[in-house]
Amino acid sequence: MKTTIKQWLLAMTCALGACLPLSSQAEPYFTNREGNLIWDKATNLVWQRCSVGQTWDGKTCASEAKMFTLDEAQKQAGNGWRVPTIRELASLIYCSSGQTREKNDPKDGGPAIAKGCDDDYSSPTINTKAFLAVSDSDFWASSPYVGDSYFGWVVDFLNGRVDNRNRDIDKRVRLVRASQLSGSEAASAFSIKIPDAREGVIAEMKNLLARGPQALYMLAGQAQRGKNAEINGKTYSAAKLYELIIQYFPQSEFAVKASDQLTAVDRTERQTNAVRDAAAAQRDAAAAQRDADRNASNRSLCFSEVRRCEARCREWGGISENSCIRECQRSCD
């Protein structure tokens, strides 16, 4: 079945971001004239653009972010600035893949929070056009960890994961405060729009979908045969291209073909993994046997040396003979 004009327009609308499953802030970020603060219009929160310990030099966040235990992190608050709650901190997570793992419940009376990014995402999992020189690691949140005060909440910006950590471990901190300005005042004070982190991904998707299902199917076949399926300098796997056809051109005749080929790719991958795992197991077994043989040989040599040592002890004789023999025997223990 051929793709209708309506379906094609829907696919292209998705490519422009209207239905593309990508995580993104509901409203864009804005910065002030100095560039050191970020205003999130959706939450009306103002964030320090740099982590605690870094300094804004007018262009980026210079120096290294400092590390704090949770109690030390709380002491960095002041003049309206504070450590964010876990929900506030989690609002900064950006998954370029648009996929999230299972939920995590902070037990604060609100809904569960997406636990982390999944699939083929980029790190750090934050809008790096808004927050510069960001470490892809844990940042503290102030929310209490219900059930065990020994722990505290963090967001790991390596993978967007919402998790808990021992409160005595050193982590990074980003401070936040509620905007003190009205909507119009905030819009005036924070007038410089930060580019949406999705823009590059949307442009890439638009370029891919514009080729149509048949061209994507041919490229996928090329990748499946071991040749590079390269588009604008980026290499795509056969599985990824087949998935795009199925997702964005479900009524196309190539969607059924792509589904069959995706099953074949998955089967081949499982077989390849099984062969690789079996080979690895054989190598491990062979290495273990070599170690066992080496240990047995070393022990045999050791016992031979003990026998020679005992013979020397007996030659010496005297009251220290038994003590000498015991020392010889300890060398193989």
The per-residue pLDDT for range 195-206, each reduced to its tens digit, is: 776 666 666 777
My answer on whether 171 and 281 are in the same domain is no
DSSP state of 18: S
Confidence of residue 10 (pLDDT cuts 50, 70, 90): very low
Percent residues over pLDDT 70 in the chain: 85
Q: Confirm whether 76 is domain-assigned.
A: yes
If we measure between CA atoms, which residue out of 178, 209, 159 comes closest to residue 12? 209
φ/ψ of residue 291, rounded to 5: -65, -40
Q: Confirm whether 324 is domain-assigned.
A: yes
My answer on whether 168 and 35 are in the same domain is yes
My answer on whether 134 and 37 are in the same domain is yes
Q: From 154, 172, 193, give the residue that closes a domain.
A: 193
DSSP state of 68: B
Number of domains forming the structure of the chain: 2
Q: Confirm whether 65 is domain-assigned.
A: yes
My answer on whether 39 and 131 are in the same domain is yes
**Lowest mean pLDDT, pick from 83-92, 173-182, 227-236:** 227-236
My answer on whether 165 and 74 are in the same domain is yes
pLDDT of 276 > 70? The answer is: yes
Query: How high is the pLDDT of residue 185?
Result: 86
My answer on whether 155 and 284 are in the same domain is no
Query: How high is the pLDDT of residue 99?
Result: 63
Q: Confirm whether 239 is domain-assigned.
A: no
Which runs of E-coded beta strand occur in the chain? 29-31, 37-40, 45-48, 55-56, 61-62, 99-100, 103-104, 113-114, 117-118, 138-144, 151-156, 161-166, 176-178, 192-193, 229-231, 234-236
My answer on whether 279 and 189 are in the same domain is no
φ/ψ of residue 41, rounded to 5: -65, -35
User: Bigger pLDDT: 28 or 14?
Assistant: 28
pLDDT of 257 > 60? The answer is: yes
pLDDT of 282 > 80? The answer is: yes
Instruction: Over range 275-287, report the average pLDDT.
Output: 86
Query: How high is the pLDDT of residue 96?
Result: 78
Residue 68 CA: distances (Å) to CA of 90, 145, 215, 265: 19, 17, 52, 47
My answer on whether 27 and 141 are in the same domain is yes
Contact 12, 210 (CB under 8 A): yes
Query: How high is the pLDDT of residue 5?
Result: 39
Dihedral angle over CA of 232, 234, 238, 239, nearest 10 = -120
Q: Confirm whether 231 is domain-assigned.
A: no
| DSSP symbols for 110-169 | S--EE--EESS--SS-B-TTTS-S--SSEEEEEEE-TT-TTEEEEEETTTTEEEEEETTS
Q: From 193, 208, 241, give the residue that closes a domain.
A: 193
What is the spatial distance between Cα 157 and Cα 172, in angstroms, rounded to a whole number?
11
Separation of first and last alpha carbons in the chain? 77
In the block, which residue shows the tokens 């709650």?
85
If we measure between CA atoms, which residue out of 72, 39, 65, 40 comes closest to residue 50? 65
Q: Confirm whether 252 is domain-assigned.
A: no
Cα torsion angle, 199, 123, 178, 60, sign? negative
My answer on whether 57 and 171 are in the same domain is yes
My answer on whether 42 and 179 are in the same domain is yes
Confidence of residue 319 (pLDDT cuts 50, 70, 90): low
Contact 155, 100 (CB under 8 A): no
Confidence of residue 109 (pLDDT cuts 50, 70, 90): confident
pLDDT of 3 > 50? The answer is: no
Q: Confirm whether 50 is domain-assigned.
A: yes
Q: Confirm whether 232 is domain-assigned.
A: no
pLDDT of 25 > 70? The answer is: no
Quickly count: other Cβ atoms within 10 Å of residue 139's Cβ: 24
Confidence of residue 84 (pLDDT cuts 50, 70, 90): very high
Query: How high is the pLDDT of residue 228?
Result: 67
My answer on whether 279 and 188 are in the same domain is no
My answer on whether 25 and 163 are in the same domain is yes
What is the spatial distance between Cα 35 and Cα 49, in angstroms, rounded to a whole number?
8
Structural domain harbouring 319:
274-330
Q: From 165, 193, 221, give the residue that closes a domain.
A: 193
Query: How high is the pLDDT of residue 70?
Result: 97
SS3 93: strand
Q: Which two tokens stand for residue 249?
A: 């051109």
Percent residues over pLDDT 90 in the chain: 33
Query: How high is the pLDDT of residue 330?
Result: 73
Q: Which two tokens stand for residue 246?
A: 């199925």
pLDDT of 116 > 50? The answer is: yes
